[in-house]
Amino acid sequence: MCAMDNQSLYFFAILPPDELAEKLDAIRVEVSEKYLCYAALKPPVHITLYPPFKDVNIEKRFSLMSSWIQRQPIFDIQLKDFNFFKNREHPVVYADVVKNLQLQQLQAGLKRYLRRFVPTTKESYSFKPHITLGYRDIKPEVFPDIIRDFSKRTFEASFTADTVYLLKHDGKKWNILFGFKMGTAATAQNYTQGSLFD
């Protein structure tokens, strides 16, 4: 029990560039203020590649992770309009990601790679890339209003995915810990110390 308590919580993601992230964050804030749901504001704007997991050793494996990720090709991601996960208890509204074979291959490869290191690999995790705008604390009774609102709206954007990010939970919120560059020399940028690791 104590060993599990000492494990930190992490997840892997792709983050859009700052300008686009600010636009999407403004929509998240709009959703939160209009529908009184705030959980989606806690992490940075992102596309989840691998959902939260606990581990005590992942930070010791940065050189191995960097070596693998730098061999993955850079590619473009398109966002188009909004969609919904119509879960009864925890509905979700999100910015939709256009189907992307390279993104699917990156996620599948990362999942296979993590099997070596993460004992609780989520084999059943179904990958549906999206950028969450509201979830978890959306009240089911307001979700039909959200659907009506966002079904009428359009949104289009694109960006180049060239970095896989590792985020770490500090007990209150998610923070970017490392950015592993794709398609380049095996480097990982340390966001807590501002240095580069080989």
Tokens 């999407």 locate to 24
**Among 70-79, 98-107, 185-194, which stretch is predicted with the lowest mean pLDDT?**
185-194
The owner of tokens 């997991």 is 53
Question: Comparing C-alpha atoms, which of 20, 48, 33 is closest to residue 131?
Answer: 48
Mean pLDDT score, 124-143: 91
Q: What is the DSSP string of 130-141?
A: EEEEE-SS--GG
47-71 residue pLDDT tens: 999 999 887 678 788 888 888 999 9
Write out pLDDT tens, residues 85-121.
998 888 999 999 999 999 999 999 999 888 877 765 5
pLDDT at 6: 57
Work out the mean pLDDT of the chain and round it to a whole number.
87
pLDDT over 80 at 125, yes or no: no
- Percent of the chain whose pLDDT exceeds 70: 86
pLDDT surpasses 70 at 20: yes
pLDDT, residue 105, reads 96
Q: What is the percent of the chain with per-residue pLDDT over 90, rounded to a whole number?
A: 67
Q: Which of 154, 181, 184, 179 is nearest to 167 (CA)?
A: 179
pLDDT at residue 89 in the model? 81
Query: What pLDDT sits at residue 63?
Result: 82
Instruction: Tell me which fold the domain 18-197 belongs to.
Output: Cyclic Phosphodiesterase; Chain: A, (3.90.1140)
Predicted local confidence at residue 59, as pLDDT: 76
pLDDT for residue 188: 46
Q: Is 146 exposed, middle or buried (0-12, 13-18, 19+ CB in 10 A)?
A: buried
Of 144 and 90, more confident: 144
